[in-house]
Amino acid sequence: MTSFKDLSIPSDALENLTSLGYQHPTPIQEKAIPQILEQKDLIAQAKTGSGKTLAFALPLILKLKDNEHFPQALIIVPTRELCEQIAGQCKELARYKPDVKVITLYGGTSLTQQVTSLEKGADIIVGTPGRLLDHFSRETIHLGEIKTLILDEADRMLDMGFADDILKIVSNLPKQRQSLLFSATYPENIDKLTKIILKNPIEIKIENQEKKVAIEEQVYRVDNKDKALIATLQHYQPSLALVFCNTKVKTTEVSEMLHEKGFDVATLNGDLEQYERQEMLLQFANGSLPILIATDLAARGLDIEAIDIVINYDTPMKAEDYTHRIGRTGRADKSGLAVTLCDEYGLKKLSEIKPNLQSKDINTLTPNKNFYLQGSVATLCIDGGKKKKIRAGDILGTLCKDIGIDNKHIGKINIFDKNSYVAIDKSVIKKAYNGLKSGKIKNKNVRIWWLD
């Protein structure tokens, strides 16, 4: 195993690392630190929790020059929490050096106080794009000596619409500098940033080493697919089920059929508008509509962790589709189950694409006729999101403190640009709805409706 010593870290820094409890570098640290010390520009991608902060902060601190009077490093991050977290880690890592100053600059706090601390001198600045621009336009910040620029959580900053702000800030930095971009994912639109900001960057990507989990595959011979689908649901009694059909028309038919029988169903197909698609997926993922009926195309890229069964209502046409479909279950170390319902034609089709699967008669299942898969929560929609600076904590605060809803009755909260969604236990949904309707979130009146 590699140690920090192998990465040519000087002994005083090594001792500090040990005292902080860091024994061995994580994979991203092992790859990124030597490149950063070599002065290379970098695009580094590794999943959340992989130790990216130390990967950039440690070499940064090693390279700090003593007795400089202006900031040498600028770290741009999406949120104030992240500012604090990163500044804290920088301070820890710099403990062994005399007098390294780290300053955070983010909105919602006094500008004048920040100006005072800037005037006292800073080595490292950690800030959010908006507040950095504020200081820049007021000329309260001097970025002319910046040697290293770091964009952390670049994917999230793009999501939050910070690209232009970032470009404005960067256009004021010295051309002679090192630039490092860290991200958990690598979205396509990131190229706009990387082309302008980075010079011949080295790309480092740490693949997610997810454990392969066993997906149990079952094939049933059936006469009536509608009845077989219900029998499958009532036998396995999943919490979240994904059902595949081959055509858009079929997804709608199957949804209506299940809905009439009393199941809570979402439908995902290519006829939906983007926002409808988003709302369908959200209601499925938060458990309001625990069955999702989809076509192959619509379900592409779907990454929902807790799907415990995938059911092929229609036999897929290609082996590749079969693999994609069943891969939606058994994610994140959970085991998964895939059931294919085949009539005579389906059996023939399946034997062509998956010759080794054995089939059983559907009548070998023992369905519980009283089981109906229904959501225990419903989804409220609020007409305000990121653009109005609404955060999950604001919604939670209003629901718990102002309206008096028990935390345990509040499920997933999703914040988008213009809307936010919150899953609420059906037993208290009226109370939550009425409370939100007459109340305020972050001192703003909001419109409220519920999805069904």
Choice from 16, 35, 45, 50 touching ligand ADP (CB under 6 A):
50
Q: Is 108 in the site for ligand ADP (CB under 6 A)?
A: no
Choice from 49, 262, 301, 355 touching ligand ADP (CB under 6 A):
49
Near ligand ADP by CB under 6 A, which window of 43-51, 157-165, 202-210, 355-363?
43-51
Choice from 7, 54, 90, 362 touching ligand ADP (CB under 6 A):
54
Applying CB under 6 A, the site for ligand ADP has a residue count of 13
The least CB distance from residue 50 to ligand ADP, in Å, is 4
Near Mg ion by CB under 5 A, which window of 46-54, 226-234, 283-291, 440-448?
46-54
By beta-carbon proximity to ligand ADP, the closer residue of 45 and 288 is 45
Near ligand ADP by CB under 6 A, which window of 19-27, 245-253, 295-303, 314-322?
19-27
Choice from 7, 13, 16, 25 touching ligand ADP (CB under 6 A):
25
The least CB distance from residue 48 to Mg ion, in Å, is 7
Choice from 9, 44, 45, 52 touching Mg ion (CB under 5 A):
52
Q: Is 26 in the site for ligand ADP (CB under 6 A)?
A: yes
The least CB distance from residue 369 to Mg ion, in Å, is 50
Residue 22 binds: one of ligand ADP, Mg ion, none (C-beta under 5 to 8 A by kind): ligand ADP
Choice from 9, 22, 280, 350 touching ligand ADP (CB under 6 A):
22
CA distances (Å), 299 to each of 84, 319, 324, 374, 379, in order? Answer: 38, 16, 9, 21, 21
Q: Is 178 in the site for ligand ADP (CB under 6 A)?
A: no
The least CB distance from residue 179 to Mg ion, in Å, is 17
Which chain residues interact with Mg ion by CB under 5 A?
Answer: 52
Which chain residues interact with ligand ADP by CB under 6 A?
Answer: 22, 24-26, 29, 46, 48-54
